[in-house]
Structure 1
């Protein structure tokens, strides 16, 4: 199977996820800037989730640029990833509406942890399908970021019951680790003489 339908579907789902999140932000009834103060927790949770969705979209795009063929198992693994990502708007809304409460922050971490596991499963299936000497396998290498992130999510979930703000800071640190441009796949594509697909 070709990868174009998988990529198009994934892009569409991620675009809808972002749209749902922004539509959850209710416009204040007053006309003063002071009315926006009530929205600060909602806007902060939206910004963090927007960054996470952007990270997944970017990494998914780069990963798929190395792939030549898709199997049924890969399609299901991709759907599994999209399932967890589709829960981000719900978790984001719960955080914002409850001003970073402990339970919402813990749930947010569970969703991020499961999305990370789902991404790892998808990546592993792609490498298995493409081969251990594939461009993706070489580009991923030891995958230090992928190994650190689950520990950060688990730590943030545990901390959320004692200090929800510290939990949020840990989620932000995990996002910043991934926000730093990762050139492994781009470098591998350049070395192989292939460009990244648009």
Structure 2
């Protein structure tokens, strides 16, 4: 591949930051208002708040992961740009799916679609990691550590699959709980390392 096909990461990072900011804004704007100014009315919306917190943490986690990676990436190519665009397309469904889950917390289809969105994001991140490693040999050792496929992709994928199995057995909210587990695990790993 010719050298002129490589690009710097600044514009991609700015685009990514803007998309995450928009997703977080839409998430909070979609939160329903309590019917009255009482604790009972606020408590009645607990499912919406729970789904919001998980989705917000997912956004923060993905942004932090992306920042961690691209802080050590010297160059990208068109393939990586399109992988990121696909990632943002799939990830931009989070506000819609958050409301869907909040309105139907005990139903399998909304929970499954929410979890499936996370699985697709993990798959895209896997291929993006491979592409980044191919063209950034200068920082290969750091990137291999930051893009640790086992910690960043395989373990969350396995947790999501467990959530799907439990959901199929009659406990649909297991999927969103597994999403929360992967976020907490990811935060723990990033704060520890």
TM-score by length of structure 1 reads: 0.86
| CA deviation after TM superposition for structure 1 residue 156, in Å | 1.3
Alignment of 1:155-166 (within 5 A): 155-161=162-168, 162-166=170-174
- Paired with 2:176 and 2:50, the residues of 1 have a C-alpha distance of 10
Cα deviation 1:78-111 (Å, max 9, x = unaligned)? 1111111101111111010113422111111100
- Per the alignment, residue 193 of structure 1 pairs with none
- Per the alignment, residue 39 of structure 1 pairs with 45
- Give structure 2 stretches of 5+ with no counterpart: 1-6
**2:183 is equivalent to residue 175 of structure 1:** yes
Residues 135 and 65 from structure 1, CA distance in 2 versus in 1: closer, same or farther, beyond 3 angstroms?
farther
| CA deviation after TM superposition for structure 1 residue 160, in Å | 1.7
- Per the alignment, residue 49 of structure 1 pairs with 55
TM-score by length of structure 2 reads: 0.88
- Give structure 1 stretches of 5+ with no counterpart: 188-198
- Per the alignment, residue 4 of structure 2 pairs with none
Is 2:164–2:174's contact at 8 Å kept on the other side of the alignment? Answer: no
Q: RMSD value over aligned CA atoms?
A: 2.0
What is the number of equivalent residue pairs in this alignment? 185
- Paired with 2:184 and 2:144, the residues of 1 have a C-alpha distance of 24
Residues 24 and 61 from structure 1, CA distance in 2 versus in 1: closer, same or farther, beyond 3 angstroms?
same
- Paired with 2:72 and 2:106, the residues of 1 have a C-alpha distance of 39
Is 1:110–1:157's contact at 8 Å kept on the other side of the alignment? Answer: no
Cα deviation 1:42-98 (Å, max 9, x = unaligned)? 000010111111110000001001111111111001111111110111111101011
- Per the alignment, residue 196 of structure 1 pairs with none
